[in-house]
Amino acid sequence: MVSGGPDSLCLLHALVTLHDAPVGVVSVDHGLRPDAGQEVAAVRDIADSLGCPFTPIRLELAGGPGVQERARAARYAAVRAVAARDRWDVIAAGHTASDQAETVLMRMARGTGRTGALGMAPRSGDLVRPLLCVNGAETAAWCVAAGLSAAADPSNADQAYTRVRARALVEALDGLHPGAARHVAELAERLRDEDAILAEVSAAAWARCAAADGLEIAALRAEPEAMRRILVRRLLAAHGLGGDALAARAVHAVLAVADGAARAEIPGAAVAREAGRLVVVGPAPPPPAPVTLPVPGAVRFGSALIRGSRGAGAPPERDRVTIVPAGRLAVRGPRPGDRIALAGGGHARVGRILQADGVPARLRAKVPVVVVDEVPVWVAGHRASADALAGPGRPAVVLEVLPA
């Protein structure tokens, strides 16, 4: 991938000079700058002069929030499509030790864990980064020596972008201590070496704690604190979460759930306690709209089908109860303060009943509650109100949960 800047031109020239297999060139115009088309054309000329097949890509991205992240995602998707079509084995990117230092510092500032401090890998799947061993000054010097004229992307000087501000920080560190950027990049490399050893230890801990789609809370709490953080990050990453969701603040919030909190909202998801496990969940679904239940008749409430009919009183079952005919019937979700009468006297909160039956908190809003004039008489599939049940053989309204 060649943008026309000094890093990617150095990458191209070095690969053509040192690599003993075919090298192709792809250059992307994101549609964000009017000069980008000329830069792509300049890259074509250089590719032609080096005897490399060339593929231009034109995207039509809109500016605005997150444009650099959106551009990166679109760029890689487009380049991978070209690689698949033309059967290239590897995609090479011109990231340098300077870029590595910027990445590590940005992640540290955000509150990353150890994995974030590993920075960019020299190889990740189909992507390789051969220039992580050199810095930006060295790639620029290579281009001068090779007679390559590099383009200057004005966005690289725009302080509105986080990476540009991080670049200024790296330059300031280099002024404070020559070679600082390389030292930060080397730290990431050493941590990556150590990570291979730590991976074996954390894999054993994962085997002790992982259960179904989450982590057993009791087992997690038995691990050392550092390992708990590693396991939580692995759980979140396994659900496709990254960035701020793996930062220290988010991990701390998740561990608070293991210590007793009911739920933690983190960027992109939430983590909750379910049956003694930590599980990653999406936003709690809104309850379906209340519906009137005709008798006879049937209505759908979310994924449940509830039927009302005329019949005779009978002992209650899980999915079928008989109640005394009275008032207007409707089906809605549980509400705060909902209670039903118990056979031995007293009342039970609907929320407590669902909790005791193992219904996750995030799914309770979808449980059908049949009400008579807004008074709950049946938590469908769970329990009926004792004072609403019809006696054996007495005229009754039969309520049923039908197969979906």
DSSP reduced 3-state for 17: helix
Dmax (CA) for the chain in angstroms is: 99
Short-list 296, 311, 96, 253, CA closest to 188:
96
- Cα gap 136→73, rounded to integer Å: 23
- CB-count exposure of residue 302 (10 Å: 0-12, 13-18, 19+): middle
Look at the domain 6-183 and name its fold: Rossmann fold (3.40.50)
**Can you say whether the dihedral through the CA atoms of 123, 128, 133, 136 is positive or negative?**
negative
User: pLDDT digit of tens for each residue in the chain (404 aa)?
Assistant: 999 999 999 999 999 999 999 999 999 999 988 889 999 999 999 999 999 999 999 998 888 877 888 899 999 999 999 999 999 999 999 999 888 888 888 877 777 666 777 788 889 899 999 999 898 889 999 999 999 988 876 666 666 667 778 777 877 787 788 887 788 888 888 887 787 788 889 999 999 999 988 999 999 999 999 999 999 999 998 888 887 888 888 999 999 999 998 889 898 888 998 889 999 987 666 789 999 999 999 999 988 999 999 999 999 999 999 999 989 999 999 999 999 999 888 999 999 999 888 887 777 888 999 999 999 999 999 999 999 999 999 999 999 999 86
Angle between helix axes 180-209 and 97-110 (nearest 10 degrees) is 50
Enter the pTM of the model: 0.54
Check: CB of residue 341 under 8 Å from CB of residue 385: yes
SS3 258: helix
Domain range list for the chain: 6-183, 212-281, 291-402
Cα dihedral: 223, 224, 225, 230 (round 10): -70
